[in-house]
Amino acid sequence: MAILISLATPVFTGTIGVHKLKADARQMACVLKTAREKAIMSSEAQSVIFYTESTKYKFAGEATYWLNSGISYAGTSTFSGDTGRKKCTFSPSGAPDSGGTVVLKNRSNDKLYIIVNPVAGRVRVSERPPANW
pLDDT tens per residue across span 34-47:
999 999 999 999 99
Summarize the confidence of residues 18-29 as an average pLDDT: 97
DSSP string, 10-60: HHHHHHHHHHHHHHHHHHHHHHHHHHHHHHHHHTS-EEEEEETTTTEEEET
Does the pLDDT value for residue 61 go beyond 60? yes
Does the pLDDT value for residue 83 go beyond 90? no
Per the CB < 8 A criterion, the answer to whether 53 and 84 are in contact is yes
Does the pLDDT value for residue 13 go beyond 60? no
- Residue 45: the pLDDT is 96
Per the CB < 8 A criterion, the answer to whether 32 and 114 are in contact is yes
Q: Rounded to the nearest 5 degrees, what angle is found at the Cα of 92, between the Cα atoms of 91 and 97?
A: 10
Per the CB < 8 A criterion, the answer to whether 32 and 88 are in contact is yes
Does the pLDDT value for residue 93 go beyond 70? yes
Q: Alpha-carbon distance 25 to 130, whole Å?
A: 15
Question: Domains (ranges, CATH) in the chain?
Answer: 2-126 (3.55.40.10)
**8-state DSSP, 128:** S
- Residue 76: the pLDDT is 78
